[in-house]
Amino acid sequence: MEPTEFAELNELLADLTGRARQILGDSFVGAYLQGSFAVGDADMHSDCDFLIPVNASITPRQEAALRVLHDEIPTRDGHWTKHLEGSYPRLEELSSLEGLGARWLYVPLSSATCSDGSPSTSPGHSAMPSRRSAATVPTGARRPVARLRCRRSASTGQCSENARLR
């Protein structure tokens, strides 16, 4: 089962997941969708929000490699390479509400500026920084694992299990 209905995005997510797994090694837990893709309400105008939880704090070397990865992705052709946004939280910070407000490595939307050079915005996000790179920011109102992508029962509409990207 593919994580989304968009072939280009699925290919990008598979590459992101594989490269993050290489960079993070044993600290890599998994890759998950959140936001509109998690609740089945995404379309071509959505951004793609991801979480890649880790078992241990990201080292400076890992952070540098992740920054290179996320600086490179928007240079690729395609729609979704400019609409990817996510965080690298510690797994323990997702297990309870005590993790709210923790600082995570955060990757802002790749489409940092509009054609006129002004900062882009989208619902629920403040102006994106002009530099296309990962930044460490507070999580604010991000929610724990309950917001991850789930499979909905056709009869009840309830989530039955979390769906990992890979």
Neighbours of 27 (CB within 10 A): 20
Residue 15 lies in a domain: yes
- Average model confidence (pLDDT) for the chain? 74
Residue 1 lies in a domain: no
Neighbours of 67 (CB within 10 A): 16
- Distance between CA 120 and CA 123 in Å, rounded? 11
**pLDDT for 55 beyond 60:** yes
- Give the structural domain span for 52: 7-162
- Distance between CA 119 and CA 83 in Å, rounded? 14
- Distance between CA 13 and CA 163 in Å, rounded? 13
Residue 54 lies in a domain: yes
Mean pLDDT score, 100-123: 59
Domain count, the chain: 1
Residue 2 lies in a domain: no
pLDDT digits (tens, 9 = 90+) for 67-93: 999 999 999 999 999 999 999 999 999
Residue 136 lies in a domain: yes
pLDDT band at 61 (very low <50, low <70, confident <90, very high): very high
Residue 154 lies in a domain: yes
Structure tokens at 25: 């090694």
Residue 113 lies in a domain: yes
Nearest to 20 by CA among 124, 98, 12: 12
The answer to which of 43-47, 66-70, 94-98 has the lowest mean pLDDT is 94-98
Nearest to 73 by CA among 48, 56, 36, 90: 48
- pTM score, whole prediction: 0.68
- Distance between CA 83 and CA 88 in Å, rounded? 17
Residue 158 lies in a domain: yes
